[in-house]
Structure 1
Amino acid sequence: MTSLLDQSPARPVIQRLKVMRQLADDEVVALEQAIREAIRRGRAGEDLICEGDCIDSVRIILSGWLCRYKALENGRRQILNFVLPGETCDAYAYLLSRTDHSIGAITPVVYADIKRARFEQLIKTHTSLGEAFWCETLLMGTIQREWAVNLGRRMALERVAHILCELFERLRPVGLLDGNTCSFPLTQMDLADATGLSVVHLNRTLQELRSAKLISLRERILRIEDLNGLKRIALFSPTYLYLYQKH
């Protein structure tokens, strides 16, 4: 099972869901089959979901980075969160009449677009899968609350350090860290829109983190030189990410 899973496009989501709940082999096989039947691809800059859309499927990200965002009428954008490999674009969003925000691809993405009827059959037959997807949905809520604290109460340096710590830790359970480095496709504009800072202020803040020898960031690769030091500056605790919870 392990060797087959290593080659599976479903590997990131299965690894992430296993943090949430223990999954039996037959549940892993069933989810993998549903994903294989529904694989789609998206281009960088493409919106997978637009604000106001009616949702009739579950989109699960297999590779690539996306962002949740809302745009004001004058074009200004607030990034609400990022969607990383193994995460869903809200597993149960189809229960609402329409979505209240957009989800756009930052990089080319591969995702599964599982129709509602197929997904509901899957979680009805495999209850641990249903619980795992509910846990993942609740986890997005805890992350959103932490982002509210980040924007409302942390200073610029703390704010940027915190988002770097969070993204680094969210990549950990899906095996997308290489020691203390990871792929980091976000532009300074993306980070500015996520932290509520101007691009100029964001650039100065990154320079401060570099000067303190906490990070290096070049050619879309993030290297955390001192993770504990970065966490101290960010006032970061990973407990809200539930990475090591007991089932």
Structure 2
Amino acid sequence: MQDEDPGAAEMLARHLENFATLSPEEIAAIEATLALPVRSGSARRDLIVEGAPPRAVFLIVSGWACRFKTLEDGRRQIVGFLLPGDVCDLNNVLLARMDHSIGALTEVRYVEISNTALQRLSLEHPRVGQALSWQMLVTLSTQREWTMNIGQRNALERLGSLFCELSLRLQAVGLATPLGYDFPLTQTDLADATGLTSVHVNRTLQHLRAAGLISLSSRVLRIPDYAALEDASLFTPEYLHLDQRDTRRGHNLPGGVFPGGLAGR
């Protein structure tokens, strides 16, 4: 559904604009910081593995990736999907070793940003730093919602809630409409993200189709009635904290929220 592939700075600015209204000067500072080589990663390849020393912060420019953990017997749990505009693990400067892996689900384009460069950007442009901090807080909020999803929702509600979340996150960076979006995930990916078996995912997708809540073909997920899918899934979007810039005007985050404890000092 989307052929657009904007540059790294444009994609980050789109994402951060959900948390703060950025000035032309702040956008120019983002562009200067992200004047970096854009790397390519093959589908189903790891960008960094659990246990490795963190070398940079990843910004996804295009494609889909995920955070995941694996058990010794190879079982995988996806703990978060990474979409274009997402900055991965802003706080990894505090870690000696990665406590999870980041893997490409599709072919991805990304940049590696040094923690030093991000901290400098945050210090020199506090509103950008605050927006980055808001993103980090939303990541934590989303993790709590995923725990609720696996612990309390039934299979239809788990998948439906995930489809709603992905829709809103992709709409926030201009890569979806309420009627649908490109959908590269396999049934195995969905199973690993929702704590279901692939067989259970297949059965639940059939139920969602039969109820007229989704259609899925040619790697495109269509949502005929987004409100109906929200209702059926018991989905509430507040945890994403999207487009609430007006409610935060005049409120500054305390120093030390940004990685390294430098923002706002």
- Calculate the TM-score normalised by the size of structure 1: 0.94
For residues 189 and 17 of structure 2, what CA distance do their matches in structure 1 show?
30
For residues 8 and 39 of structure 1, what CA distance do their matches in structure 2 show?
9
* Match in the other structure for 2:176: 177
* Match in the other structure for 1:114: 113
Q: What RMSD, in angstroms, separates the aligned Cα atoms of the two structures?
A: 1.4
* Match in the other structure for 1:208: 207
For residues 99 and 132 of structure 1, what CA distance do their matches in structure 2 show?
24
* Match in the other structure for 2:12: 13
> SS where residue 167 of structure 2 aligns?
helix
Is this contact kept in 1: 2:50–2:101, CA < 8 A? Answer: yes
Point out where structure 1 has 5 or more consecutive residues left out of the alignment: 1-5
**Paired-residue identity, %:** 47
The 5 Å alignment of 1:15-34 reads 15-34=14-33
The residue identity in structure 2 corresponding to 1:83 is L
Point out where structure 2 has 5 or more consecutive residues left out of the alignment: 249-265
The residue identity in structure 2 corresponding to 1:219 is S
The alignment status of 1:154 with 2:119, answered yes or no, reads no
> SS where residue 19 of structure 1 aligns?
coil
- CA deviations 1:35-92 (Å, max 9, x no partner) are 2324222111111121112213221111110011111111111111100000011122
For residues 181 and 103 of structure 2, what CA distance do their matches in structure 1 show?
21
Kindly tell me: are residues 124 and 37 of structure 1, through their superposed partners in 2, closer, same or farther at Cα, counting changes over 3 Å?
Answer: same
The 5 Å alignment of 1:186-205 reads 186-205=185-204
The 5 Å alignment of 1:73-92 reads 73-92=72-91
For residues 209 and 6 of structure 2, what CA distance do their matches in structure 1 show?
37
For residues 92 and 20 of structure 1, what CA distance do their matches in structure 2 show?
18
The residue identity in structure 2 corresponding to 1:229 is A
Is this contact kept in 2: 1:54–1:94, CA < 8 A? Answer: no
* Match in the other structure for 2:263: none
> SS where residue 216 of structure 2 aligns?
strand
The alignment status of 1:127 with 2:126, answered yes or no, reads yes
Aligned length, in residue pairs: 242
* Match in the other structure for 1:236: 235
- CA deviations 1:88-115 (Å, max 9, x no partner) are 1112211222221111000111111112
Kindly tell me: are residues 120 and 38 of structure 1, through their superposed partners in 2, closer, same or farther at Cα, counting changes over 3 Å?
Answer: farther
> SS where residue 36 of structure 1 aligns?
coil
Is this contact kept in 2: 1:36–1:112, CA < 8 A? Answer: no
For residues 122 and 178 of structure 2, what CA distance do their matches in structure 1 show?
35
- Calculate the TM-score normalised by the size of structure 2: 0.88
The residue identity in structure 2 corresponding to 1:28 is I
The residue identity in structure 1 corresponding to 2:202 is N
The residue identity in structure 2 corresponding to 1:212 is A
Is this contact kept in 2: 1:38–1:114, CA < 8 A? Answer: no
Per-residue deviation, 1:192: 0.7
